[in-house]
Structure 1
Amino acid sequence: MHALKKHRPLRRVTLTAAATVTGLVLLLSLKPHTPPTVARASPSAGRSPSRSGAPSSTPSPASTSATGTRTVTGDTVQTRWGPVQVRVTLRNGEITDVTAVSSPTDNPRDQEISSYAIPQLRREALAAQSARIDSVSGASYTSDGYKRSLQSALDSAGL
Structure 2
Amino acid sequence: MRRALLAITGLAASTTALVVLKGSPGTSQVAQDLPADQASVVPGASGGPAAPGATPDPAAPSRSTRPSRTPAPTKSTATARATAAPRTTTSAPKSSTTRTVTGPTVTYKYGSLQVRITLSGSRIVDATALGMPVGGQSGLRADDVQARYSGTSGEVVAKQSANLNTVSGATYTSTAYKQSLQAAIDRA
TM-score under structure 1 length normalisation:
0.54
The answer to whether the aligner puts 1:95 opposite 2:124 as a matched pair is yes
CA distance in 2, matches of 1:101, 1:94: 21
5+ unaligned residues in a row in structure 2: which ranges? 1-94
Per-residue deviation, residues 44-80 of structure 1 (Å, max 9, x unmatched): xxxxxxxxxxxxxxxxxxxxxx942110000101011
RMSD, aligned α-carbons: 1.4
Identify the structure with the greater strand proportion: 1
Q: Secondary structure at the match of 1:152?
A: helix
CA distance in 2, matches of 1:131, 1:143: 11
Report the CA distance between 1:91 and its aligned residue.
0.2
Report the CA distance between 1:102 and its aligned residue.
1.7
Task: Show the counterpart of 1:75.
Answer: 104
Question: Larger Rg: 1 or 2?
Answer: 2
Task: Show the counterpart of 1:108.
Answer: 136
The answer to whether the aligner puts 1:143 opposite 2:174 as a matched pair is yes
CA distance in 2, matches of 1:84, 1:100: 6
5+ unaligned residues in a row in structure 1: which ranges? 1-65
CA distance in 2, matches of 1:144, 1:84: 11
C-alpha contact 1:74 1:149 (8 A) present in aligned 2: yes
TM-score under structure 2 length normalisation:
0.46
Report the CA distance between 1:86 and its aligned residue.
0.7
**Structure 1 residue ranges, 4+ long, deviating more than 6 angstroms after superposition:** none
Give the number of aligned pairs.
91
Aligned-residue identity in percent: 43
Instruction: Give, as a single letter, the amino acid of the residue that structure 2 aligns with 1:72.
Output: V
Map of 1:1-159 to 2, 5 A cutoff?
A: 67-105=96-134, 107-122=135-150, 123-157=154-188
